Structure 1
Amino acid sequence: MSRSTPRLPHQTDDIFLTDGGTETWLMYKRGFELQKFSAFHLLNDERSAKALREYYTAFANIAVKLGTSFIFDSLTYRASRDWGALLGYSTEGLAEMNHKCIEFYRECAAEAGLAAENTVLSGCIGPKGDAYRLNKGLTAESAESYHREQIDTFKAAGANIVTALTLSTTAEAIGVAKASAEAGIPSVIAFTIEKDRKLRSGETLKQAIETVDRETSNAPAYYMINCAHPVDFGPALANEDWANRIRGLRANASSVAHGTLCKLGHLDEGDPEELARQYVDIRAAHPKMNVFGGCCGTDYVHVEKTGRALLAAA
């Protein structure tokens, strides 16, 4: 199996690990100031690039130790046109950075000795706007047009899959899925939910997944949940067909609500062992889930504990 065609989560029941809360780790553990909550441009600075290499290589080393696959993700979360422009990037400069991030993942995998068949390069996409505010003017058509640029860049860079994180509307999810299908690269849609166990748009997970699948002819390879805590999304799951489409979890370390969490001014790392146990319980109820990482407040400590707990329970 070549480096360009590793096995992907929807093609096997094996466990895949992925990264944690890159931005919160950089801010609170390494003291970097992130303009527009963006991390990709830090590769241009020697000191911050060194910290990023430490971060991603630590995850890859865990995957090597545990014998799992690893999905490199998240660094390009805000490397799309509008966010890039706010940081002073031209279209060409932004494309160069997206290529640079994918190549950076390759370097970290090689440094850790992660086997090619266990190395998944994911082109991470974030929402066009703020993840926690509804962009009511964004239609599926405009989302498809907007995200196609970054998706085409990922395809050219040799990414294996595209992952859209922290989506809160079906319109944007439909746009990403359609653009990815047109580009010929598998897509993953990760929704985030609120304390009422619904998307910010008011839809339940069931409604959101069934809507996207219906409008895209089941284009997403699978779905995920991110930037929420198991106490919130766990009860939203059900033993129904739509829930079987969810294969991945990237939970926040804390159960505090999004709005409050952003205003704390310090890192809430939660209890890594408790989070690992919660993941094990959810996978026991939903065995098709096989992608596990973290979001805000998590890092490689949380992911290693999760990986060990899942493998012990298998």
Structure 2
Amino acid sequence: MNSALLPHQSDILFLTDGGTETWLEYKRGQKLTNFSAFHLLNNDQGAAALREYYTAFARIALSLGTGFIFDSLTYRASRDWGDLLGYSKDALAEMNHRCLALYRDVAADVGLAPEQVLISGCIGPKGDAYDLHQTLSAAQAQAYHAEQIETFVAAKADLVTALTLNSVEEAIGMTRAAKDAAIPVVISFTIEKDQRLGSGETLGDAIRAVDAATDNAPAYYMLNCAHPVDFVPALDDADWTRRVQGVRSNASSLEHGILCQLGHLEEGDPDELAAQHRDLKLRFPHMTVFGGCCGTDFVHVEGIARAILGLSDA
């Protein structure tokens, strides 16, 4: 771990990457079995695409003087997804280590200063992010996710980020596993068109429930895999909103189920997306983490960063 402050500990703007999997599939023609990106490190073409991807974002952070959180590649590098791809427990742990090593190599190659860089071990849901047929208790989630989290600790990650969560119970389990491993954890929920989690809770209720069950253990919360037109109405001026430190937005406002079945990349309007994030930052100045999710890449994230940084120049 390095000595860089986490986003909730400073006013520094931190960027993240964008929609890793959609960029790899539609912009670089990479086949992602089970929507898993980490295994691309095993072939030269895939590894080159991943290096190109993270390098582009790191250069934006360098040129704009922001921090950068390396994230997302290990989203489906947990036990069940690894089993589907034929990885043993040890081989899967090695892949998680290699992903974080790639981040460090890119940061060094680009020339980012240590205080600009955070290495995040990304975890995703045990099952599909939009499938609620399998109910996971907090205890089951804790036991399941502990393995990958402990691997991140061994690889000296700075924090753990749990993306695209639609279950309070799984969020509680993930948080408890990270707390036991003594590593900061970020919980990022996703919401549907009705401004609720797939499991039915409002965003405020979900955050309050996780905080209550874990003694406010998450370092902060985020939103991802939703568009501003859908998630902004879910935010208000209550105390829980202060716990939301940032967002990773989709490029399009189409429903999740439709996006998954399109068969083509939906990139939306990057300029409009940037303006929406500028307005979000104006309304919630405490938010300091911004990146992208499905359909976005470095073009969207650079536009968002420039729009936000323009506020300080006004």
Say which is worse superposed, 283-292 or 196-205, in terms of deviation: 283-292
What is the root-mean-square deviation in Å for CA atoms of aligned residues? 0.8
- The aligned amino acid for 1:300 is F
- Cα distance in 1 for partners of 2:181, 2:279 equals 37
Q: Which residue of 2 aligns with 1:99?
A: 97
Q: CA offsets, 1:10-62, max 9 Å, x none? A: 11121100000000000000011100000000011111100100000000000
- Give 1:31's aligned residue: 29
Aligned residues: 312
Deviation at 1:137, TM superposition (A): 2.8
Distance 1:55 1:276 in 2: 20
Letter in 1 for 2:64: L
Q: What does residue range 124-139 of structure 1 map to in structure 2 within 5 Å? A: 124-139=122-137
Alpha-carbon shift at residue 9 of structure 1 (Å): 0.4
Q: Which amino acid aligns with 2:251?
A: A
Q: Which runs of 5+ in 1 are unaligned?
A: none
TM-score by length of 1: 0.98
Distance 2:273 2:202 in 1: 23
Q: Determine the structure 2 residue equivalent to 1:239.
A: 237
Corresponding residue of 1:281: 279
One-letter identity of the residue aligned with 1:221: A
Q: 2:184 aligns with which of 183, 186, 199?
A: 186
Matched, 1:310 2:311: no
2:290 to 283, 287, 292: 292
* 8 A Cα contact 1:229 1:251, kept in partner: yes
Alpha-carbon separation, structure 2, partners of 1:248 and 1:183 = 24
Deviations 1:138-189 (A, max 9, x none): 0000000000000000011010000000000100000111111110100000
- In the alignment, the residues of structure 1 paired with residue 288 and residue 117 of structure 2 have an alpha-carbon distance, to the nearest angstrom, of 15
Distance 1:75 1:189 in 2: 17
The equivalent residue for 1:170 is: 168
What does residue 161 of structure 1 align with? Answer: 159
After TM superposition, the structure 1 = structure 2 runs for residues 1-314 of structure 1, keeping only pairs within 5 Å, are 4-314=2-312
Using the size of structure 2 for normalisation, the TM-score is: 0.98
Identity of aligned residues (%): 64
Distance in 2 (alpha carbons) for counterparts of 1:136 and 1:77:
19
CA distance in 2, matches of 1:71, 1:4: 13
